[in-house]
Amino acid sequence: MAAAPQPQVATLLEALPYIREFSGSTVVIKYGGAAMTEESLREAFATDVVLLKYVGINPVIVHGGGPEITDYMNRLGLEVEFVQGLRVSDEQTVEVAKMVLVGKLNKDIVLRINRHGQPAVGLCGDDGSLFEVRKQLVPDSSGGERDLGFVGTIARVDVEVLNHIAEDYIPVVASVGSDAAGASYNVNADESAGAVAGALRAHKVVFMTDVEGWLADRSDPSSLVSEVDVATIRRELERGAIDGGMLPKLKACADAVEAGVGFAHIVDGRKPHSLLLELFTDAGIGTKISR
């Protein structure tokens, strides 16, 4: 009887069919949370993304930077307010968001990926008119709508910009954009990732966050929903059963899958190499959303 393969070899053998399946496809990754703030996790993420490119997968990174934006706003004495997981944004808030996202975090991510052996290019929604944005209104308790200021929703993604860059580079997109008149808007990074994935008809979109996935009961870690379809998410959204930061994530997942993305995943970015574990293992981790 042949000996069982060593654990390291078994892991490689388990990954092989997934590498074969995904080769040549596009995977959009929403990068955020602890994976962006802890040094060891930043390194693990960069190596994971570079590995994807080396095995023939085209990764497209969309990132936010909420904690750093909040930190800088607090330093400047600006009010921080969230409604339904979205940051209320006046002109000063958008200015801070652009400085943090585009001027600092985007370049940090690009430099780290470059250092690990693959060239990356930093973008934001303004570059090449990548995002066409319009003002976003959200329902309020009175049945009307609330204006959150310069908070935008994406009306169009110019995929030609991304396709052109992704041929040779790893695109890294900061989640800000502008409308037809040139006004700048803060755009939720989860929505941006879902819109980019849908426009690209990506094979998968992966949302990295600071929880295990979608918990049916937020106070119970054992209530992880491992797999769910879009219809169930839409029902839960309609009855108001999803709130906080998970609201824009699950909505973005549903929008992306309905736009033609094969699968959406919500994974725990606090775990090193969670991206590879989700893509290249039989069990996977987190929550998988399908049609």
pLDDT digits (tens, 9 = 90+) for 101-116: 999 999 999 999 999 9
Of the chain, the percentage scoring pLDDT greater than 90 comes to: 66
Please give the mean pLDDT across all residues of the chain. Answer: 90
pLDDT digits (tens, 9 = 90+) for 43-97: 999 999 999 999 999 999 999 998 999 999 999 999 999 888 789 999 999 999 9
**Residue spans per domain, the chain:** 26-278
| Measured CA angle at 149 (ends 186, 205), to 5 deg | 35
Q: In the prediction, which pLDDT does 121 show?
A: 97
Where residue 7 falls among pLDDT bands split at 50, 70, 90? low
Closest by CA to 226, choosing from 290, 286, 291, is 286
| Measured CA angle at 289 (ends 274, 228), to 5 deg | 115
* CATH superfamily, region 26-278: Acetylglutamate kinase-like (3.40.1160.10)
Where residue 11 falls among pLDDT bands split at 50, 70, 90? low
Q: In the prediction, which pLDDT does 169 show?
A: 95
What average pLDDT does range 6-15 have in this prediction? 67
135, pLDDT greater than 90: yes
